[in-house]
Structure 1
Amino acid sequence: MLKRLHLLLALFILTVNAAMAQITTSGISGKISSNGETVIGATVTATHQPSGTVYRAVTNVDGRYTIQGMRPGGPYKVSISYIGYKDKVFNNVSLNLGESQNLSCSLQEDAKQLQEVVVSGKAGLNGTKTGAAMSINAQQIADMPSISHSIADVARLNPQLTTNGQSGSMSFAGMNNRYNSFQIDGVMNNDVFGLTANGSNGGQAGSQPVSMETIDQIQVNIAPFDVRQGGFTGGAINAVTKSGTNEFHGSGYFYGNNQDLVGRHYKNMDGTYAQPYDDEKETLFGFTLGGPIIKNKLFFFANYENSEKSYPTQYTIDSPDVKFNPDLAKALMSKIYDLANRQGYDYATSWADKDKNVKSQKAGLKLDWNINEFNKFSVRWSYVDAKQTLGLGGIATLNTTDHLYDFKSKTHSFSAELQSRISPNLSNEARVSYVSVRDERTSGQPAPSITIYKVGNGTMNIGNEYSSMANGLKQDIYTLEDNFTWYKGNHTLTFGTHNELYKFSNLFLQNLYGCYYFDTPDDFLNYYNGCGADGFGGDGKYIKNFYFTQANVEVTGNPRWAPEFSAAQLGFYVQDKWDVTDSFQLTYGLRMDMPLFFDTPAENAKFNEWAAGKGYGFKTNQKLASTPMWSPRVGFRWDIEKNRKYILRGGIGVFTGRIPFVWLSNNFTNTGVQTSSYSAKNNSAVQLIMDPNKQTQNADNLKATGSQLINVFDKDFKFTQTMRVNLGFDFNLLGIDWTAEGIFSKSLNDVYYKNLAYEESGKTLSQTSYMNWDNRPLYTKVADAKSFTNIYAMYNTSKGYSYSLSLSAAKHFAFGLDLNASYTFTHSESVSSMTSSVAQSNWRNTHTYRFSNNPELANSGYNVPHTVKASAFYHFNWGTNKLFTTTVGLIYQGQSGSPYSLVYSGDINGDNGTSNDLIFIPTDAQVDQMQFLGTDAYTAEQQRANLKQWLATTRYVKDHRGEYFERYGDNLPFESHFDFHFGQKFGIRTGKYVHALELTLDIMNVANLLNKDWGRTFSSGYNSEFVSPITYKGDGVFQFANPSDMPLKYPSSYYSRWRGQVGLKYTF
């Protein structure tokens, strides 16, 4: 396999010319005239003044010129000369990443006098973009209030972006956060495997993929109609790092806080106030250094950064405001110890009360070489090493120390880029890159996972987290890119290719040490009381669920077997950017992406025979089809009055992404050949075995009932594709720059799962005596599929859409004040939100009340309707030579809360899915017909009364009695957060250098500092996606707790407090 991969790499190196598909540079273009006539042969010279880098072009027969591949930023000096005419000079030109600034002019005769034009920013509105986009420069990054120093913090003012402050995930225009693209210097840094919430490598270890101190510019794209940009159906973030110049510049910085800079209190839902943190610490320090190796020729830029964070575990077994019952938990734990002792297994653990620790180191080196006036070459290396402790409990979850795990991640990134000006009309850009990612989870002493529900009103987890028993990932990603550009008259023709090659090794054996679930403490005690002196003999019917997976060593040769597979995605495209007139530009192009798959999962002859008999047309040992995926796009920009005061722009096009490769990896892991998965529900044969290495004893008892978990693709499955329409109007009114933006996205190929091991029985729940008002279909195991635990098949769907409407305003005042504000309304619907990395979870999380294998179109898990954003930044230069700078910034971000569903805890329709059945919201008369099972806390009649009270007083459900709760039918309350930044810089000039010392203070959620009721951040119940207020016990019996024990929202302990950070930074 590796030989084939290397062969393909060699083939591309030999046949592909050179360039890039993800934008890392800027450019200038324009038309030169004199007295209304075009000037042919005028020389345009652009000099990047900090580095002395020179770019040149000559106007063509239409008087037009274009220079691409330029360093973003500046300042540039651009001079335009022609014999017999006065030179025109543009000074202080600054270029935005990914944009080509228009510098057109009219020359005058007689070259005795030099004309200078100062360009200190945009002259009018942005006259280059066609689709929804946003550029952020280094100064804006430095001014942004931030403690996490993350890309999400910097990009959050984008009107179409919604962020989750707790997870760091970013959703653009209501799209799946796994469908985004993130590039650093054109190198892929998004998590292509699809495991991290923030979408970047190292995210699971709590790290950012790059030090923000090294970023020069960031570009956010949602609808770029430039066909060079691909690999996403959500949003794309392109970042370029700083480079060295002809002068030595550097920085040393330190940022930190402790518990004294974290709010002591916030208001809980019951009116009480949370307890203060007694121990919290964050430090971040590092340096940057850049300069010349050879003046005007060779430059370097280097950096190092170290970050350490320690957060206290607020909710421990001794915390006063937890939902679980501490005394009951201790009593149950003593029984666990006793069982282990009787079984002769030495088991030791304790309650998790340790701090959450996050550590990371980042380093990088970049070299830029001006080979000559026509060729520029750069190489870059970066490294991130991070570790984070995960698995800590919460207000309703109590975990033991062996349930915690450390997530470790290391990322190496290498890239090389060549930009060439072949002739006045031809240019080329090329890049090759390699990214290595190594992720690993490590737990404490191996132990089975034991979960007991309803310990009070919470859950206790003992033993290893079920997904961390054997979990490690290796990724190797190669990229080859090329753009060849031909400037022909008023046309700019681009021919390019972007190719990605992937190699994965994914160790992922869930439930390797066994997982046991007890529905109540009473169930556990009933099992325990039946055990004999050897710790065995309890009745397994009290074990709600048992799961166990093992590698079949006789096949794999390794008990910790990890599937390995390789794939590629090749992209080819052609585009014409046509300057139809001086004020109207049309861009149209066609892109073709071709996914390739080099490996095949193992053959399961038994399943393949079964699937063929059903007419499904797929089998375990099949590759995805390598089908060309076409993406035509057309965009336009019209400067209506030719003065950049009113600009209409937009376009329509198809965007092709990729699926997270973890979904493909599931098919290699779960063929039913290399691994065997066992499950049992209330099975008397199951025993609670404390030795993690003896779980096969249960497996032997279960072999008669089948042991194969199968994951497959539909034979016609394709990567994701979206058709997107964008229309924007930029205008200046009353001295304010306004933008009205509309984005509509329609799914062409999206993704959902079916469980083919279960089918509709032909009956409905309404035919039962206990739920005769609920018409949902009931399910049963497919008669001839008894030997398969579950069969999860991935399909495409064209259902699903989203739209986003926004209005934003910006105003710059000459005295240093910048104001921005925006409002966005978003609505998104999907068949499945695909929020997980595991097939079973993705199927289960598609909550439904209709058809489990044909889910209805409903609100998506990324549907956040209302977003309001505003910012104010003030810069004041003062002191001798204006070398002292005071900066004050305030950001407001308000958005609808996270969407959630209400589902039954349990399996009410028999489809073998837990917590996937949306509740029917009963009337009081229907509640009277329901049967309840009493608990120690509440009798059956008390539960009936509690449910009626909850239904009558809870938002959304009180207005939808007698209806089903729709998937993600409601959102948590609107959240408002203010973030503050203050910076004071003291500069002093010594020779040609300015040395500066800057003191900074950032306060996130500063409103909580003023009022403890303000700034709360909520999570929905016990889960980020759903709440399970009603438990279905089986046989028509339900349980319901007190409404105060099951609120729909809980405030986040950390993010509901104000959080400060002080900083000290030296620059020269």
Structure 2
Amino acid sequence: MPTYKRFILAAVTLFITINLEAQITTSSISGRMTDMNKKPIIGATILAIHELSGTRYGTVTNIDGRYTLQGMRAGGPYKILVSYIGMKPSETKGIMLQLGETFRHNVKLAELSEQLNEVVITGKAGVDATKTGAAMNISSTEINRMPSISHSIADVTRLNPQVRVANTGAMYFAGVNNRYNSFQIDGAMNNDAYGLTANGSNGGQAGTQPVSMETIEQIQVNTAPFDVRQSGFTGGAINAITKSGTNEFHGTIYGFGNNQHLIGSKYRMINGKNSEKYRDQSEYQAGVTLGGPMIKNKLFFFANYEKANKTYQNPYAINSFASLIDAATANNILDKLREMAIQQEVTYNGELNSTDVYAKSDKAGLKLNWNINDKHKASIRWSLVSARQMNSASSAAVLNSSDFSYDFVSKTNSFTAELQSRFSDQWSNEFRISYVRVRDERQPGAPFPMIEIGNVGNGTLHLGNDRSSMENSLNQDIWSFTDNLTWYTGRHAFTFGTHNEFYKFSNLFIQDAYGSYFFSSPDDFYAGKIKQYRFAQANVDVTGTPRWAAAFGAGQLGFYAQDNFNVTGHLDLTLGVRMDIPLFFDTPAENVSFNEFAASKGWHYKTNSRLSSAPMFSPRFGFRWNMDGAGKYILRGGAGVFTGRIPFVWLSNNFSGTGIQLSSYIASTSSSNPDATKDLSFILNLSKQTQNVEKLTASGSQTINIFDKDFKFTQNLRLNLGFDFTLGGINWTAEAIFSKSLNDILYQNPIVDLTGKTLGETFPSLQFDQRPMLSKIEGANTYSGVYVLTNTNKGYTYNLSLQGMKKFDFGLDVTASYAYTKSKAQNDCTGSVAQTNWQYNYTTGNPNDPELANSIFNVPHNIRVAAFYTKKWKTNHSTVIGLIYNGSSGIPYSVYYYGDLNGDSGYNDLMYIPTDAEADQMNFTATSGYTAEEQKTNFKAWLANEDYLKNHRGEYCQRNGANEKFEHHFDLHLSHTISFVTSKRTYGLEFSLDIVNIGNMLNKKWGRTYESGGTYTPVTYKGEGNFQFLHDADYTMHSYSDYYSRWRGQAGVRFTF
């Protein structure tokens, strides 16, 4: 039996279970019962009833008159009945519970001779008197009124001042890498544990969401929770629970859709011209939900099915107005490639004409809730998400051939079971088990080498297969188990728990399996002057198969203890400590040759090192002080350590990159080796790529990935201080969050080191550029790179925000916030491959000790304003209008050279911004399109006009040192519901229209979104101190997104019963 299975079996058997994140799926009620003289009432009976399902939760008060009800369904409405012999019973109705929070309900009981009226909670909003750290709860009602056409969780989290949502659906908490987030649905892990998706959840690469929004009951967004049960993230945590059945049958039938007629026809482009009309597109999303009783008050179900389909023409196809590619040059290159293919007796069928892009998905789910008795409640949920999307369509600055695109196919099955138990008035328990099965695969076009050609107009041309899709599939199996035992005594609620996760991965990933060729320009392509060549293959003698997959298992055990201490009626303290133990069940293969080389250098690196399972401790402290006793002024916050995980793809690199099962080769021209590719041939026949490999083996080009033996999972120290107060009839929240990296990620390549010389010393024409030069160390010629996964404690983020909320009696809700974020990092780690994370961590110094700089997630200013107005017309009509404004700084970007300037074999050299006098000293290499003097003249004119560069002449560009311009976006939601009431049931028919970026509808200059990947490479380094600037004098790096710069609408209809 495999090791990881033994661990699972032992954990289940011992009932010590496991779920690293242990996020909350329920709510609680607590309080104190006193008489009219404020003396505690001992033994009073508390009964809370979920009115829609009849679910009952009961207990009695302790010696201090206190009580707690845990494990309750979030939502409501609830009614609470309080009784005691000789006292007048109390009944409170209309209580709604927020996910993961404790509702405070204190009651004074009068003697039977006194008269007390029934209390009804109206739901009027006030200061949230329950949360300790920075958190936000979102109900299904709020979800339904939010403007959205993607129907994603990301859309509804954007009102949180700590969260920035990208167009891809990625969510960044307080400037932290989105891969460090946690995302759970009903307690089951649904974030992308392997770390490949942009939106951070399973199915993201196939363009789908992990759950249908029609099934969501509540969402909790946490940035700094000081409850030790919540872990597994150093960014933020998103915790969603789905709807459950009740004693009445309820359901929805819904559909949403749009086409090109609901997309703006024009926006003003960078060049001042209006865009063309958007091309044809069609999108729909339709589904059904049904919930109800199987046994009244006892057993309930909730089921759903949803289908979505989107098809659109690529807006950046060749000859399109939005493309920066020179169409004539691209077509000439294609013709030349076909001619060369025929000469080599192969066929190339790739096209540059427009190809429709599509995304399809199916979602299904079933949830059962069982009220076993008043003391035990159980639930089971299964869900399926199956999706397919065509990826790698062209962008403004990149034109991809039809065979470069690939289908991404994803299927996720998840299962969760939960048991909530109350053994006595002092002891309760929560047990949860979940299993998630993910199967992902890339399906590329007909096998062919990848060819990349730069400076085709103002962009890059790709022909052949995407180098990362040639052999690429991933299987994930993730088990998690949680058990929390809580003991209530006096003013204390002690929690003792364990949460552990076990992972099994199998990743077939052979990047460059058909060979990849890079050319700096069309002239270099025609001349066969290769700038870089890459190839990888499985060593069949070792693996037994050419399609070898790296398989490994891992886990993480979590144990914790916590005390929730109600010091007084107005002060609550949370003190806890958590211990997480990473587990690694497999060891990468031994590479004897490399291990001997590493030992000769005094390094403690081995390919067959297994990571340490040393415990990682996370102490936390939180407080909440109700300063005036009435909830108008609440000071809260805390300090604690948060332990996360890392994307497991970064660990997988070390299983596939030992140099034993796979051999990876690279040859790249650089300052230290300008002739690295001179002897290579441009081979299009897949079976003959080994001819280049033989030459590479002779010169040395192996790539090795290894661990630092002391490598640890990510961990940070987070401080939070919040002040919730009411002023001028407005509920305000002032929040400050500071995070300091304790263990973050850093990649190093020890086979390159400083030479002691600078670039200016090496090339006299570049005396103004004093960046250090590097070269391979002695004896390292066998390797193209040795990439070490290690840690750094450099880096920090902070977020300061102010938010105001006001609910008016006439149906208007308004929220406004401003947030300032600062995020610094040593390595952004935006890639999935070790070499990428080192090679593209831009620097002007030593790439093995990069400077602390702005992170790619640093978007300083964010302003959000939301207004929702609900109007009821007569008895059966209601209208909802929602308007959201989002203003924010643009995303950061870096400007660097295309080429290796400092001799480290990485394309990571930030550009020096010369003065005119310094630019005159530079040498430019002529092409068929531009003379050397024309390039120099155009270069100086461009520097004088580019905003960031013209203000930093004579300086180096900083990593992520500039941000795109401030953006403004307005989104609108309109819906009208007609209700039909019969003697037994109420039906509703809702018509809706959502328009995002509605500002573009009013003015073609409004709402424009920059198209940026965070990097620009306007200048090519040709080696030997020579450059190329293959652009006109009026060149601009920036462009607007053709899709996101337009207004987009979606019409919908929903029938409820």
| Residue 758 (structure 1) aligned with residue 752 (structure 2) | yes
Cα separation, 1, equivalents of 2:64 and 2:765: 81
Give the secondary structure class of the aligned counterpart of 2:300: strand
**AA matched with 1:764:** T
Cα separation, 1, equivalents of 2:16 and 2:777: 55
Partner of 2:2: 3
Cα separation, 2, equivalents of 1:400 and 1:1006: 33
Cα separation, 2, equivalents of 1:320 and 1:501: 50
Q: Could you report, residue by residue, the CA deviation over 1:486-540 in whole angstroms, capped at 9, with x for unpaired residues?
A: 001000100001100000000110000000111111122223xxxxxxxxxxxxx
Cα separation, 2, equivalents of 1:680 and 1:484: 58
Cα separation, 1, equivalents of 2:457 and 2:948: 27
Partner of 1:537: none
Partner of 1:430: 431
Cα separation, 2, equivalents of 1:1029 and 1:805: 35
Cα separation, 2, equivalents of 1:111 and 1:340: 99
Partner of 1:784: 779
Give the secondary structure class of the aligned counterpart of 1:115: coil
TM-score by length of 2: 0.98
| Residue 945 (structure 1) aligned with residue 940 (structure 2) | no
1:854-869, aligned counterparts within 5 Å? 854-869=849-864
Partner of 1:543: 530
Structure 2 residue aligned with 1:747, among 741, 750, 753? 741
- Conserved? CA contact 1:312–1:355, under 8 Å: yes
Partner of 2:877: 884
Partner of 2:396: 395
Q: Could you report, residue by residue, the CA deviation over 1:115-137 in whole angstroms, capped at 9, with x for unpaired residues?
A: 31111226741111010000000
Q: CA deviation at 1:959?
A: 1.6
| Residue 963 (structure 1) aligned with residue 955 (structure 2) | yes
- Conserved? CA contact 1:19–1:483, under 8 Å: no
Structure 2 residue aligned with 1:841, among 831, 836, 858? 836
Q: Could you report, residue by residue, the CA deviation over 1:693-747 in whole angstroms, capped at 9, with x for unpaired residues?
A: 3211211222211242101111111000000000000000010000000000000
Q: Could you report, residue by residue, the CA deviation over 1:248-295 in whole angstroms, capped at 9, with x for unpaired residues?
A: 000000000000000011111000111112311110000000000000
Q: Could you report, residue by residue, the CA deviation over 1:987-1027 in whole angstroms, capped at 9, with x for unpaired residues?
A: 0111231011000000000000000110011023xxx1211
**AA matched with 1:386:** A
Give the secondary structure class of the aligned counterpart of 2:1018: strand
1:111–1:15 distance in 2 versus 1, CA, 3 Å: farther
Cα separation, 2, equivalents of 1:19 and 1:966: 44
Cα separation, 2, equivalents of 1:467 and 1:667: 17
Give the secondary structure class of the aligned counterpart of 1:595: strand
Give the secondary structure class of the aligned counterpart of 2:149: coil
Q: Could you report, residue by residue, the CA deviation over 1:177-198 in whole angstroms, capped at 9, with x for unpaired residues?
A: 1000000001000001000111
**AA matched with 1:28:** I
Partner of 1:974: 966
Partner of 1:677: 664
Q: CA deviation at 1:565?
A: 0.1
Give the secondary structure class of the aligned counterpart of 1:296: coil
Q: CA deviation at 1:458?
A: 2.1
Partner of 1:535: none
- Conserved? CA contact 2:48–2:81, under 8 Å: yes
Give the secondary structure class of the aligned counterpart of 1:660: coil
- Conserved? CA contact 1:754–1:853, under 8 Å: yes
Cα separation, 2, equivalents of 1:1048 and 1:85: 76
- Conserved? CA contact 1:94–1:120, under 8 Å: no
**AA matched with 1:438:** R
Give the secondary structure class of the aligned counterpart of 1:785: coil
**AA matched with 2:1015:** F
Partner of 2:711: 717
TM-score by length of 1: 0.97
**AA matched with 2:958:** E
- Conserved? CA contact 1:903–1:917, under 8 Å: yes
- Conserved? CA contact 1:222–1:235, under 8 Å: yes
- Conserved? CA contact 2:887–2:969, under 8 Å: yes
Cα separation, 1, equivalents of 2:686 and 2:972: 50
Cα separation, 2, equivalents of 1:821 and 1:112: 45
Partner of 1:63: 65
Partner of 1:1017: 1009
- Conserved? CA contact 2:666–2:702, under 8 Å: no
Partner of 2:981: 989
1:265–1:123 distance in 2 versus 1, CA, 3 Å: closer
**AA matched with 1:517:** F
- Conserved? CA contact 1:159–1:823, under 8 Å: yes
Percent sequence identity over matched residues? 56
Partner of 2:827: 832
Give the secondary structure class of the aligned counterpart of 2:1055: strand
**AA matched with 1:791:** V
- Conserved? CA contact 1:618–1:715, under 8 Å: yes
Q: Could you report, residue by residue, the CA deviation over 1:574-621 in whole angstroms, capped at 9, with x for unpaired residues?
A: 000000000000001000000000000000011111111222212000
Q: Could you report, residue by residue, the CA deviation over 1:80-132 in whole angstroms, capped at 9, with x for unpaired residues?
A: 11111111111010000000000001111117856311112267411110100
Give the secondary structure class of the aligned counterpart of 1:265: coil
Q: CA deviation at 1:454?
A: 1.6
Partner of 2:30: 29
- Conserved? CA contact 2:667–2:701, under 8 Å: no
Deviates more, 1:946-955 or 1:467-476: 946-955
1:321–1:735 distance in 2 versus 1, CA, 3 Å: closer
Partner of 1:900: 893
Partner of 2:1017: 1028
Partner of 1:256: 257
Structure 2 residue aligned with 1:935, among 927, 931, 946? 927
Cα separation, 1, equivalents of 2:667 and 2:396: 30
Cα separation, 2, equivalents of 1:1039 and 1:36: 83
Gaps of 5+ in 1: 528-541
| Residue 473 (structure 1) aligned with residue 474 (structure 2) | yes
Give the secondary structure class of the aligned counterpart of 2:58: strand
Q: Could you report, residue by residue, the CA deviation over 1:962-999 in whole angstroms, capped at 9, with x for unpaired residues?
A: 11111100100011110000010000111231011000
Cα separation, 2, equivalents of 1:714 and 1:338: 48
Partner of 1:1057: 1046
Q: CA deviation at 1:953?
A: 2.0
- Conserved? CA contact 2:449–2:464, under 8 Å: yes
Cα separation, 1, equivalents of 2:192 and 2:685: 36
Q: CA deviation at 1:1043?
A: 5.5
Cα separation, 1, equivalents of 2:677 and 2:184: 50
Cα separation, 2, equivalents of 1:346 and 1:829: 49
Structure 2 residue aligned with 1:615, among 594, 602, 618? 602
Cα separation, 2, equivalents of 1:571 and 1:774: 51
Deviates more, 1:449-458 or 1:783-792: 449-458
Deviates more, 1:19-28 or 1:252-261: 19-28
Cα separation, 1, equivalents of 2:989 and 2:325: 50
Partner of 1:730: 724
Q: CA deviation at 1:1064?
A: 0.6
- Conserved? CA contact 2:938–2:1033, under 8 Å: no
**AA matched with 1:1048:** M
- Conserved? CA contact 2:293–2:301, under 8 Å: yes
Q: CA deviation at 1:905?
A: 1.0
Partner of 1:14: 13
- Conserved? CA contact 1:329–1:455, under 8 Å: yes
**AA matched with 1:728:** G
Q: Could you report, residue by residue, the CA deviation over 1:275-328 in whole angstroms, capped at 9, with x for unpaired residues?
A: 112311110000000000000000000000000011221122232453222122
| Residue 636 (structure 1) aligned with residue 623 (structure 2) | yes
Give the secondary structure class of the aligned counterpart of 1:9: helix
**AA matched with 2:936:** R
Partner of 1:461: 462
Give the secondary structure class of the aligned counterpart of 1:686: coil
Q: CA deviation at 1:456?
A: 2.3
1:189-268, aligned counterparts within 5 Å? 189-268=190-269
1:669-708, aligned counterparts within 5 Å? 669-681=656-668, 682-708=676-702
Q: Could you report, residue by residue, the CA deviation over 1:390-422 in whole angstroms, capped at 9, with x for unpaired residues?
A: 111122322211111001100000010000000
The number of residue pairs the alignment matches comes to 1046
Deviates more, 1:43-52 or 1:308-317: 308-317
